[in-house]
Amino acid sequence: MEGARMIPADEATNLAILRELERKVLWISSYMIHYANHEVDRGDGLKVGGHQASSASLVTLMTALYFRVLRPQDRVAVKPHASPVFHAIQYLLGHQSLDQLQNFRGFGGTQSYPSRTKDKDDVDFSTGSVGLGVAVTGFASLVQDYVHAKGWSKEWPKGRMISLMGDAELDEGNIHEALLEYWKHGLKNCWWVIDYNRQSLDSVVSDRLFMKLAGLFENLGWKVVLIKYGKLLQRAFAEPGGQRLKEWIDDCPNMLYSALVFQGGAAWRRQLEQDLAIHPDTLAILRRHDDEALAQLMTNLGGHDLEAIIEAFEGAPSDQPVCFIAYTIKGFGLPFQGHKDNHAGLMTKAQIEALRVREDINQGEEWDRLAGVRVAASKIEDFLARVPFRQKGARRLQGPRIALDTFPKLEWKGQLATQSGFGRVLDEIARANGPLAERIVTTSPDVTVSTNLGAWVNRRGLFSLASQEDLFRERGLMSPQRWALSPKGQHIELGIAEMNLFLMLAALGLSHSLFGERLLPVGTLYDPFICRGLDALNYACYQDARFIVAGTPSGLTLAPEGGAHQSISTPLIGMAQDGLASFEPAYADELAVIMEWAFDYIQRQAAEHGDPRWQRDEQGGSVYLRLSTRPLEQPTRTITPELRQGIIDGGYWLRRPDPAAELAIVYCGAVAPEAIAAAGLLSEDRRGVGVLAVTSADRLSAGWHAAQRAKDEGDRAARARVEDLLGGLSRDAALLTVMDGYPEALSWLGGVRGHRVRALGVEHFGQSGSIGELYGHYGLDVNAILAAAEGISGRPVRYRVQ
């Protein structure tokens, strides 16, 4: 009989201590939520939250993990609503302050959902948008494999990347996309611990559907471990009549089970006596328990039984990913346990008082770390000091900066598209073969070649844990792509799912912090499909992951590809996305300047929790390049330091306006030739029309906002780049902006100094056609610019293009 296994004395003590810690975690996390909701008046908006019931179901699992199973190299994504449990555990370990606990959900306090960037303790992965924190763990594990395959990260053995996840998270499609991707890359060190409380926000999930998911995991190479019954139940099942009891529980619908959990001992007895009336042995088991003990027995699910959990965790295989399905009760140990409406449930004052008394905590000692423990506090402190997880101290690592002195100096001639320029810069970096080339890792969702990464991959190879030669090459078959797979490779090929691209970039972009090895990740995708992965992009930025992403090709300009591929809104996304500096250069020399800057920018790290002012230049961030396949005649010019700064800050005068000019044309990206040609024609009858090249509407606007804020705060000299640029233009002049994207990405420029604006851009879905036809139809060609100039100045334009 398994339950009667002899437990060594040390182990018995350890278990007793863990049980006390479990009680403390339940109390501290519950009190923290109660305190935020009842004791501090922060206005109604901050009060509710779905934490209480949702936290309680993870208390035992997290106690077992953090105080026993985890090692310093393990990394955990804690489901959003279990944030109080996480912080309570950190508090017990001495890594979290009381002040932070008391300010849960308050300004500057512990965040509602675990946050790497905002929380002050050791959050490994942010969570919040369900499904994303789960999926990033698998990608982090693949990045760990990558780093180790290169022989790096010597001081940190491979850890397990763990997700403590809600069962409803499996409804998110990104989880399933990730599972397929993991399989291709041979995922190993990853645990997903599903808090199977069978309740999501609104309902009780279907058990049958869920068990189908278990099959899915197994099909994709995961070991599935059910943590279904606790030791009390296991022992009862082994008694005469116990099998009947087991069958009854297995057949019990979730709804009925949940209702009985809520109702308690007497209701259990009534139901069981009725359903098992013809099984005297089973009835005898029930009779050996009073109401309280019966409720305890019947709710002894695996996810609330320390011994069962530890057995499952410690017996898990290490050569494959493991999915633990831990049966739990939402709100376990609290008055609304099991109730289907408990998601936003909060305990009343009377209920928290009752819990305090039950947990032997005196009034006034609510926050004492070890108040009410039933084992000597000194023994618990000893135990806490020896907890394996904490033995290496702070786990926020730092990878040394990668030098950029091997960045190539290139000359650009003839006709070239920014997308080709991008491929060429990477190719030259690869050829130069320095530390920069070594640390770059590229990735793309099935568009490696069509986004111009081919040459880079030819030189640096595809990454795979197993080596495999390029079969076409071996057989002497002609192909421009030489794609050998090996652990040395530096390109990670992904399936089409863009969510996976951004989760991979999130994981690669945290490598310095998670594994102490800095990577310089570069991802590419077709620009319109940024929207497909947008929440994951936002998630990556929220965690301060560092990467460069190229959206290419973009806009109407990829003309014959048609409306489904022509991005319109991405310039606005690039501007509005925090943590992402966006650029849309027109020329390759600008792109090269931006890329060199970007490889530095993604490595910057200012003081923690700094104030993100002045374009975040000290803090750094990630970079988005919106590129094009339209070849443009390259200017022959020297990049002076001043021009370089203009390109990086977001804009420069390609042609300075006359102080008395009545008009300036402002362009961004691939429409440069139209803007320049129109300015030329306008010069025939208008004085000194200026041409402003915008390389980053995002950085111009960020700098402007920052300077205004600085002014508000008393820095009178604060002046943004864009104020200087437009300062050279008379107030009566008009701005005519043009870009291949939604016009409001540039029209705001009128607000800087009060210039009138006419903004040309794309507002409606595109279609197939030539660039000329589409620019004509959508109003981006030379004549459209001239017509707009006429409209805004109220004066006829003499020349048009015939």
At 637 the three-state DSSP class reads: coil
- Residue in 199, 442, 500, 538 binding ligand TPP, rule: CB under 6 A: 199
651 binds ligand TPP (CB under 6 A): no
553 binds ligand TPP (CB under 6 A): no
Query: How many of the chain's residues bind ligand TPP (CB under 6 A)?
Result: 20
120 binds ligand TPP (CB under 6 A): no
Which helix (DSSP H) or strand (DSSP E) does residue 582 occupy? Answer: strand 580-583
Cβ atoms 566, 671 nearer than 8 A: no
Q: Which is nearer to Mg ion, 171 or 535 (CB)?
A: 171
Q: Is 11 left (phi over 0), alpha (psi -120 to 50) or beta?
A: alpha
Which residues sit opposite 165 in a β-bridge? 194
532 binds ligand TPP (CB under 6 A): no
Alpha carbon distance, N-terminus to C-terminus of the chain: 93
Kindly report the number of other CB atoms within 10 A of residue 277's CB atom.
10
133 binds ligand TPP (CB under 6 A): no
Name the minimum Å distance from CB 174 to ligand TPP. Answer: 9
197 binds ligand TPP (CB under 6 A): yes
Instruction: State how far the Cα of 185 lies from the Cα of 779, in Å rounded to an integer.
Output: 47
Contact range with ligand TPP by CB under 6 A, out of 192-200, 304-312, 424-432, 723-731: 192-200
203 binds ligand TPP (CB under 6 A): no
Name the minimum Å distance from CB 113 to ligand TPP. Answer: 8
448 binds ligand TPP (CB under 6 A): no
Name the minimum Å distance from CB 346 to ligand TPP. Answer: 14
For strands 690-694 and 651-655, give the pairing: antiparallel
111 binds ligand TPP (CB under 6 A): no
Comparing CA positions, the residue from 236, 221, 276, 121 lying closest to residue 609 is: 121
Which helix (DSSP H) or strand (DSSP E) does residue 462 occupy? Answer: strand 462-463
Q: Which is nearer to Mg ion, 53 or 530 (CB)?
A: 53
What are the two backbone dihedrals, phi and then psi, of residue 169, each rounded to the nearest 5 degrees? Answer: -65, -25
130 binds ligand TPP (CB under 6 A): yes
Name the minimum Å distance from CB 205 to ligand TPP. Answer: 7
Written as six digits, the tokens of 384 are: 């806490």
| Cβ-Cβ contacts under 8 Å for 311 (sequence gap 6 or more) | none
Closest residue to ligand TPP in the complex (CB): 166
Instruction: State how far the Cα of 500 lies from the Cα of 178, in Å rounded to an integer.
Output: 6
User: Contact letters (x/-) for ligand TPP, 79-98, by CB under 6 A?
Assistant: xxx-----------------
190 binds ligand TPP (CB under 6 A): no
Kindly report the number of other CB atoms within 10 A of residue 176's CB atom.
17
Contact range with ligand TPP by CB under 6 A, out of 196-204, 428-436, 576-584, 617-625: 196-204
Which residues sit opposite 164 in a β-bridge? 78, 193
Instruction: State how far the Cα of 187 lies from the Cα of 137, in Å rounded to an integer.
Output: 11
Name the minimum Å distance from CB 543 to Mg ion. Answer: 23
Name the minimum Å distance from CB 58 to ligand TPP. Answer: 7
Would you tell me which residues interact with Mg ion (CB under 5 A)? 166-168, 197, 199
Q: Which is nearer to Mg ion, 244 or 339 (CB)?
A: 339
- Residue in 84, 114, 138, 166 binding ligand TPP, rule: CB under 6 A: 166
Q: Which is nearer to ligand TPP, 171 or 438 (CB)?
A: 171
419 binds ligand TPP (CB under 6 A): no
Measuring CA to CA, how many Å separate 468 from each of 95, 183, 434, 476, 484? Answer: 46, 17, 25, 16, 6
49 binds ligand TPP (CB under 6 A): no
User: Contact letters (x/-) for ligand TPP, 328-347, by CB under 6 A?
Assistant: --x------------x----
Cβ atoms 63, 89 nearer than 8 A: yes
Instruction: State how far the Cα of 590 lies from the Cα of 666, in Å rounded to an integer.
Output: 16
509 binds ligand TPP (CB under 6 A): no
Sheet containing strand 161-166, strands side by side: 75-78, 161-166, 190-196, 322-327, 223-227
Residues near ligand TPP, by CB under 6 A: 50, 54, 57, 79-81, 128-130, 166-169, 195, 197, 199-201, 330, 343
